[in-house]
Structure 1
């Protein structure tokens, strides 16, 4: 089974053989050798850009359904790998990034870059209460929860920046 950081070829095959593993690893974006969270966050921008014209309520539905899907997928994939929150599981980055980008729906292009950077900052830094939840809540729900909170923090900061710039 995998250590926290190394994904051996057998684990990689096991992960990709399962539709839940495929989703949990962000359609393969989490399988990079380094910076899996960054690559997952970047990959999340592609569907966001394709669906950018959707309304905020539609995005809230997408985010809620994607969160529920992620809890299940990350739970199953974590069991497959024997590591509850393996670095290759990046569906949480997709959902957190989409939350962070909500204020950018009607904003200039630079807001997307700012939302990406802010989300990565909060996801890596993990200020309270993100780190608290990250340490205490386990399983698929725990994998997803800290990134949702990081996305909320990033979205609030981005909304504040957009308010002051306008």
Structure 2
């Protein structure tokens, strides 16, 4: 993990190395990191951090997957981190229970992969830039689905 700073990012600063449910642990780390970041950043600054994190994550996931020789390793969790940041950034303010529901919805869409998440997961496979984007893409679609459910829930 420490052999390359991009590995550190892709592995969610170690959260992806959990032996049990690394995607869930990475998402939880992302949730906690978001709560800390929002103490110091404005909404606009958080948006910039997220945008930069998507690009850096794409690069980090590409390099790390190539070095691990696995197209989409479960230990790469930066995609979950950025996706939960997007969900929380756009859905806040919410109390703890609202955040927990958002967390649960995102994990559902990411783990179960109903369409369109399943479609997104199958679009970009392999190694290189395309594969690195594919690692990120299905989680971005899962974040969109989560936000759609939250929007409908708030509208009702």
- The reply to whether residue 61 of structure 1 matches residue 48 of structure 2 is yes
> Gaps spanning 5+ residues in structure 2: where?
126-130
Which stretch of structure 1 is more off in the superposition, 97-106 or 140-149?
Answer: 97-106
Q: 1:127 aligns with which of 106, 114, 120?
A: 114
Q: Is the 8 A contact 1:98 1:151 kept in 2?
A: no
Q: CA RMSD in A?
A: 1.6
**Counterpart-to-counterpart distance in 2, 1:22 and 1:103:** 26
**Counterpart-to-counterpart distance in 1, 2:151 and 2:90:** 6
> Gaps spanning 5+ residues in structure 1: where?
1-14
- The reply to whether residue 74 of structure 1 matches residue 61 of structure 2 is yes
Q: What's 1:47 paired with?
A: 33
Q: Is the 8 A contact 2:88 2:99 kept in 1?
A: yes
Cα deviations across residues 107-164 of structure 1 (Å, max 9, x unaligned)? 2221111110010010012122211121221311000000011011112212332344
TM-score, with structure 1 as normaliser: 0.83
After the TM superposition, list the runs of 4 or more consecutive aligned residues in structure 1 that deviate by more than 6 angstroms. none
Count of paired positions: 150
TM-score, with structure 2 as normaliser: 0.88
Matches within 5 A, 1:16-165: 16-53=2-39, 54-138=41-125, 139-164=131-156
Cα deviations across residues 79-123 of structure 1 (Å, max 9, x unaligned)? 110002100000000011112223442222211111100100100
